[in-house]
Every structure is written in structure tokens, then in C-alpha cells.
Structure 1
Amino acid sequence: MYEYGSDALDGDVDKVAFEEPVPYALELYSPWRGFGGGARVSSRHMPTRLRLKGRKRKLLDFDNQYHMLLVSRRFIDLVESLQKDIQVFPVQCVWGDGSDAGQFYFFFTTVLLDAVNRERTNANWVPTARGGLWQPRAGEIFSFDKDRMGDVHMWIDPHMPTKGPLVSEALFRRLQDADVRSFYDAPLFEEV
């Protein structure tokens, strides 16, 4: 019901890249692959204007365009209330007829963190030349180590670089309590 496409009116999404130096775990990926993040993103080539396709409607607080998170200021404020390690790029959205659709932001967490508790996790691990990747299947269990997470509430796991950001229980509850639109309930992974 809420999905919509867009045309970038400037920038070049295909050329959006991480700032140098790129962490080893992210060298094979771009920030727009799988709602990326995990390191600082260069503003070079980042679109600043989007023309939204489809009918006019109330836009969501948390959605995606071009495999990047497109969020409202309200979403940013909620995340920043727990964690400052984020990066945002303003995007002016317009409708097909040129009328204003509002100010939104491309959003990235800049935290790259392996917080998986391997003793309590039974998800599928696939060894690779670069170390390994988690390839979770339905019904498998992830557990995260709160000590390793520290004050981090949104991060990219270096062994799941295209799965999008992970969020702490505390941030998830805050987003739910605020009724952030499009942030739906998903199975929680245990934090220990």
C-alpha cells in the first residue's frame, strides 16, 4: 500500500560511496546496497531531490528509496536520543506535478559492530575467503552481547553487510512507542 518509486533529480546513486578509508568488511559493498551503513558515507553524488511516483499520500517515517533508508526528522530524533553515530543527507521530495512532498533524509548508521554471541546463536554461518557471513534462515536464533554493544543502538554487522541495520531492544521499543510509521514488529533477537 505504501510502496512508491522515485526519480533522483540530481546526484548519481550508482556512484554513492563510503568515505576513505573504507573498512575491510565493507570494501566489496556500497552504502546503498541493502540499506547500508557501517561507516561514513561521502556526500559526493548523493541525491538531494527526489520526484516521487504515484498518487499523493502521507509519507512514512521510515522507508526506502534506492536501497537507502529514507526517513523523517522524527525518526532521526528518536535514534539520536540514544545514539549520535549516524549520518543523514537532506532530500527534498516533490510529487510528479512538482508540488512539495516534504523534507526527508537518507539515513545511515556509521557503526560497524560484531556483537553476535556465538555461544547462544544457532544461525547458519558460511565461511568465506574474507572470514564468513551469517546466512540466517527462518526459526534460527541470534543472540547479541550487550557488553559488546555498549551504548550502540543501531549498527551494521560486518558479517551481514547487506542485511541492513540492526537495532537494540531499547531503540526498537522507542520506535514502537512513538508509532514510527512503517517500523513494523519483527522477531526480536535476544540481547544477553
Structure 2
Amino acid sequence: MVKDKKVLPHLSSYANDPERIEEQANRMAKEGWILEKFGSLFSTYRRGKAGEYEYRVQVKEAGIDRLTYIAELTEFGIEEVGGVGDLLVLRKKADGTPFDLYSDLDSLIAQQKKAVRYLRAGLLLSLGWMSITLMNILMTLMNANVIGKYAGMAAISFRSSQVFLLAASALLLPICIVGIVDCPRGLRRAKQKIAALEAERVIQE
């Protein structure tokens, strides 16, 4: 049976990267998958006509009301499918008319600086939760006589609460590892973008 809907998870670094979001949305549209909803954790696609839509990601300028701006865009056949923070993911029917949106340098720099703060917090949170998770696993195994002072001398004994704790830790640990790997990559890319945008601003001035 052919699926008519896809829900794809994405990493924090992707959700804060306008170029990557736009590139994937347009690539999927060419393959016949229409981006219907975009959020900080998931993208929802439905099967449609290949090349039916084209997508742009714009950084909203400070001081502009989001709802008012989106309402103005609808007059030009442009609709919002989601966004994260100041990022707006927009689409329009691919009818041959121009679909050019402008994001000023100050707004782009501000958005990337927010991304740096967000990714840095995500990295610290991942490191903290990983430390707590590993400590919980270690203490649980010691209390169950799997490792430690009484390992090999006392019977291994797991209480239901310990089994639950190990299961929860096993689920949380991979998430922490993904955050520890992904956030530094996103930070590096965001900082490179900030440097390039600031250099461009100096040239324009």
C-alpha cells in the first residue's frame, strides 16, 4: 500500500537552518511530496503532484506582526506552512511567476544568533541529562548486584522500579547522544553564517 503521508523528524541544527529547510522542501516537492506542516521537531508531507509547489524560508523582521504579514502574503498566493522562531516556511503554486522574498541582513544575523543560543542550551542540556542518565544506570546496576561490591557474591535482583528506570534510561541515552553530536555541528555552521553575514554587511556599508 502506497503511503500518502510522511512525518519526518529532524534535528535541532536543521530546524534552525533556513537554507537546509528550503532545499529539502523543494527537493521533496519535485519528488511529489508536498510540505504541509513544519515545526521544531517534525515535518509533515503529503503525496501530491511533482513540482506543484515551490518553497521559500524567510526570516521575519523584528517589529512586524506575524499574522498581519502572513495575511498580506496570501494576497499574492503565498501561504505559511509553519516555522520556528523568526523563520517562516512559505509556499506558492509553481505557476511560473516569481517567488522572491527578501530577508534583511540584520534579521538574518539576529536569527542565527538566536540559533546559537538555542543550540548551546541544547548541548548543555544533553550533556547534563547524559551525566544524570549514566549515573542512574550505574547506581541501578550496583543496587541490583550486577556490578560493584557484591557482584558475584549476592544474587542479582531487579525490582520493578529498577527495571523501569533502566528502560527509561535506555530510551533517553540515545537522545542525549544525538544532541551531543548534532548541536556542535549546528553551532559551527551558525557561527560561520554569522561571520559571513557580518562581512557582507560591512561590504554593503
**TM interval, short-chain normalised:** under 0.3
Hey, which of these two has a bigger chunk of helix by percent? 2
Which gives a bigger RCO, structure 1 or 2 (Cα 8 Å, sep 6+)? 1
Please give the TM-score of this superposition, normalised by the length of structure 1.
0.24
Hey, which of these two has a bigger chunk of strand by percent? 1
